[in-house]
Amino acid sequence: MFHKQTAFDPQEKDGVWYQVIKPGLVRVGISAMATDDIGTISFLDFSTDETAITTGDDLVELEGEKAVETLKSPVTGQIINRNSTLISQPELVNQHQPKENWLVEVQVS
């Protein structure tokens, strides 16, 4: 059985994109604008190990050739999944399309 994939058409806010991928679940990622502004990313780390997150909370710290930035969460809820590949290989952010540069999946409240 085939599953219909959601078209990638996210909203953007302050360097992150976010999109509902199924009811109650939002995926949050790094926008193309943020990667352009920061340059080649050499370090990426989540600002907290907590799973509860509120709109405006620090989400991820990025270090690049042009800048160091802390991106904020655009949603409130529980983080249920983190993209650990980007933590171990932050250089992939500059090689991927924005859709693959997702950071977390959040069960929104």
Cβ partners under 8 Å of residue 23, min gap 6: none
Q: In the structure, what pLDDT confidence band is assigned to residue 1 with cuts at 50, 70 and 90?
A: very low
Q: What was the pLDDT predicted at 7?
A: 86
Query: Nearest CA to 16 among 66, 67, 58?
Result: 58
Q: Taking the model in full, what pTM does it have?
A: 0.88
In tens, the pLDDT along 58-77 reads 999 999 999 999 999 999 99
Query: Nearest CA to 30 among 101, 108, 106?
Result: 101
Direct distance between the N- and C-terminal alpha carbons of the chain, in angstroms, rounded to an integer: 30
DSSP 8-state symbol, 60? E
Mean pLDDT of all residues belonging to the chain:
90
- Pick from 2-11, 30-39, 54-63, 72-81: least confident: 2-11
Tokens 């509902």 correspond to 20
In tens, the pLDDT along 10-35 reads 999 999 999 999 999 999 999 999 99
Q: How far lies 25's CA from each of 48, 85, 91, 104, in Å?
A: 20, 20, 27, 10
Domains along the chain with CATH numbers:
31-108 (2.40.50.100)
